Amino acid sequence: MALLEIKDLHACVGEKEILKGVNLCFEPGEVHAIMGPNGCGKSTLSAVIAGHPSFQITQGDILFKGQSILNQTPDVRANKGIFLAFQHPVELPGVGLAQFLKTALNAKRSFLGQAQMDGVQFMKHMNLRAKALGITPDMLKRPVNVGFSGGEKKRLETFQMAMLEPDFCILDEMDSGLDVDALKVVGQGLSVMREPNRSFMIITHHDDLLQYIQPDKVSIMRDGQIVTTGGVDLVHQVEEQGYDHFR
Amino acid sequence: MIISDNRFFLSSTAGVVVERPASSKWIFQVSENGFLQGDFLQVNGDLDISVLLNGIDAKCELNCGYLLNDNNKINIKIHVEHKCSKTISNQQIRGLATGNGEACFNGTITIPHNSQKCDGHQNHRAVILSDTARVLSVPQLEIWADDVKCAHGSAIGPLNKEQLFYLQTRGLTESQARKILLSSFFNHFSSMEFDGIIQDWMAHYV
């Protein structure tokens, strides 16, 4: 069974239709890159999967582990295992990162009927992952995303993903605005998360990040629809020829 | 739920003469090198604070919060006067408003001609949680000196939807997300006692 399946999905913002019949399927363990020109609906697709309230679904369905999630709130989707790494993570002044992550982790555990993590267990869980991604103790104390550089914000998104251990990871332009060193940290952080039961949907414009986490499939999106799905060679085709001949 | 009175907590009054001519009125005279640090939490009625920074390097940090509900009316007036050069002031005002309440914040920073190298900050933010609550903000700067730093900001509105969504995508329910965002609003207070009052208020009204 597919981990996540998108069937003929149509979504609007106000009167404007942005997704015009998207069909996609993610098998467990699969890394699937989505590429497409600016404004084709990639970010909308990721927001709709995560349950953003600004979009109305007018047709179609999203099945996660075989069940429709369209009527579920973003928190239920998250606790079931969907994680969205934002292209532009919002700042949360006054909300300390570590405290927030502990609340989030325990929200998920209580949703899954697991015991709450105490302070010591949580610190162990956190420090291990923080170290791997170069998150300093100082960053953990700071408010979420406040005053962080673009690269630090992306590293924090990867870190939160590693903390919450989701089954389905959506990365919305994780590699935009990263320098080569930051890209390496994020790329390596992602590649160690690759597991047989965890799937990735990677929205990107370049093959930089994909060098670290090789996709099994690549889909090209244009004007709210998936126009082609293929192997990794599609990435090189896009890099060489642009999107014009994908229709 | 009734919070019987409005609360205050003065964590530093070094070099400060404190006058309280009425329960809702405060006058603080801060002398050279003096430091005033005070928290005020208002749930109803008037609060009128005057701070006079009278000597070089006098400093004040004022943290005010208000919690507005039902048909209550809150009126907060703060006047900080930098009467001497090299004085520093920082005011942080935060409010939550629900029900049919009405809050008015009137804040003035005055820097006269001869008070150079002063630094004054005032920031007022309020979250409106009902369709009928009203918050009015009147921030004012009266600056006559030319070599000073002075800034004020005021933002009133509902909770930020993108912040709520972000927290929800991390697995927090909408209600948990609201509570985290609203509590974080008040974390400039140094008094732990206020936390309890704010949490109780939120449990009842949010």
Handedness of CA B200, B63, B141, B110 (dihedral sign): positive
A95–B160 CB contact, under 8 Å? no
Q: At what angle do helices A180-191 and A150-164 cross, to 10 degrees?
A: 10
Task: Report how far residue B191's alpha carbon sits from residue B170's, in angstroms, rounded to the nearest whole number.
Answer: 30
Q: How much is the pLDDT for A245?
A: 82
Task: Report how far residue A95's alpha carbon sits from residue A142's, in angstroms, rounded to the nearest whole number.
Answer: 8
Range of the domain at B128: 7-159
Contacts of B173 in chain A (CB under 8 A): 73, 75, 107
Task: Report how far residue A59's alpha carbon sits from residue A36's, in angstroms, rounded to the nearest whole number.
Answer: 22
Cβ neighbours of residue B85 under 8 Å, at least 6 residues apart?
B56, B114, B115, B116, B117, B118
- What is the nearest CA distance from B160 to chain A, expressed in angstroms? 10
Chain A: residue nearest B185 by CA?
A: A94
User: Measuring CA to CA, which residue among B111, B186, B113, B115 is closest to residue B152?
Assistant: B111
Q: Per the structure, how many domains does chain B have?
A: 1
**Residue B1 pLDDT class (50, 70, 90 cuts):** low
**Residue B3 pLDDT class (50, 70, 90 cuts):** low
- What is the nearest CA distance from A103 to chain B, expressed in angstroms? 8
Place of tokens 């309890």: B196
**Residue B7 pLDDT class (50, 70, 90 cuts):** confident
Domain membership flag for residue A246:
no
Q: Does A97 touch chain B (CB under 8 A)?
A: no
Task: Report how far residue A176's alpha carbon sits from residue A113's, in angstroms, rounded to the nearest whole number.
Answer: 37
Residues across chain B: 206
Contacts of A92 in chain B (CB under 8 A): 163, 166-167, 181, 184
- What is the nearest CA distance from B176 to chain A, expressed in angstroms? 9
- For an interface test with B, the pick among A92, A109, A145, A171 (most B C-beta atoms closer than 10 Å) comes out as A92
Domain membership flag for residue A142:
yes
Residue from the list A90, A103, A164 with its beta carbon closest to the beta carbon of B166 = A90
Range of the domain at A171: 4-241
Domain membership flag for residue A118:
yes
| pLDDT at B133 > cutoff 60 | yes
- For an interface test with B, the pick among A75, A112, A114 (most B C-beta atoms closer than 10 Å) comes out as A75
Q: Which residue has the higher pLDDT, B70 or B190?
A: B70
Task: Report how far residue A118's alpha carbon sits from residue A122's, in angstroms, rounded to the nearest whole number.
Answer: 6
Give alpha helix (H) positions in chain A.
Answer: 42-50, 74-80, 97-111, 119-132, 137-141, 150-164, 180-191, 233-241
Q: Does A92 touch chain B (CB under 8 A)?
A: yes
- What is the nearest CA distance from B142 to chain A, expressed in angstroms? 29
Q: How much is the pLDDT for B46?
A: 93
On average, the pLDDT of chain B sits at 93
B180–A95 CB contact, under 8 Å? yes
Domain membership flag for residue B191:
no
Q: Please count the other Cβ atoms lying within 10 Å of the Cβ belonging to residue B106.
A: 15
Q: Per the structure, how many domains does chain A have?
A: 1
Report DSSP letters for B102-114, one per residue. EEEEEEEEEE-TT
Domain membership flag for residue B186:
no
Q: Does A161 touch chain B (CB under 8 A)?
A: no
Q: How much is the pLDDT for B4?
A: 53
Q: How many CA atoms are closer than 13 Å to the CA of A72, on its beta-carbon side?
A: 21
Q: Does B155 touch chain A (CB under 8 A)?
A: no
Domain membership flag for residue A247:
no
Domain membership flag for residue A155:
yes
Q: Does B169 touch chain A (CB under 8 A)?
A: yes
Residue from the list B160, B170, B174 with its beta carbon closest to the beta carbon of A73 = B174
Contacts of A90 in chain B (CB under 8 A): 160, 162-163, 166
* For range B2-21, the mean pLDDT: 85
If residue B64 lies in a helix (H) or strand (E), which one and from where to where?
Answer: strand B59-68
Task: Report how far residue A30's alpha carbon sits from residue A40's, in angstroms, rounded to the nearest whole number.
Answer: 23
- What is the nearest CA distance from A79 to chain B, expressed in angstroms? 5
A93–B162 CB contact, under 8 Å? no
Task: Report how far residue A174's alpha carbon sits from residue B70's, in angstroms, rounded to the nearest whole number.
Answer: 46
Q: Are A58 and A17 in contact (CB under 8 A)?
A: yes
Domain membership flag for residue B2:
no
**Residue B2 pLDDT class (50, 70, 90 cuts):** low
- CATH number of domain containing A221: 3.40.50.300
Q: How much is the pLDDT for B99?
A: 95
Chain A: residue nearest B187 by CA?
A: A94
The ipTM estimated for the assembled molecules is 0.95
pLDDT tens digits for B193-203? 888 889 899 98
Tens of pLDDT, residue by residue, chain A (247 residues): 899 999 999 999 999 999 999 999 999 999 999 999 999 999 999 999 999 999 999 999 999 999 999 999 999 999 999 999 999 999 999 899 998 999 999 999 999 999 999 999 999 999 999 998 889 998 998 999 999 988 899 999 999 999 999 999 999 999 888 889 889 988 988 999 999 999 999 999 888 899 899 999 999 999 999 999 999 999 999 988 999 888 7
| pLDDT at B26 > cutoff 90 | yes
A164–B170 CB contact, under 8 Å? yes
Q: Which two tokens stand for residue B135?
A: 């918050």
A74–B184 CB contact, under 8 Å? no
Contacts of B171 in chain A (CB under 8 A): 75, 78-79, 104-105, 107-108, 111, 164
Radius of gyration of chain A (CA): 18
Q: Are B157 and B143 in contact (CB under 8 A)?
A: no
Q: Which two tokens stand for residue B12?
A: 């530093």
Burial class (CB in 10 A: 0-12, 13-18, 19+), B4: exposed
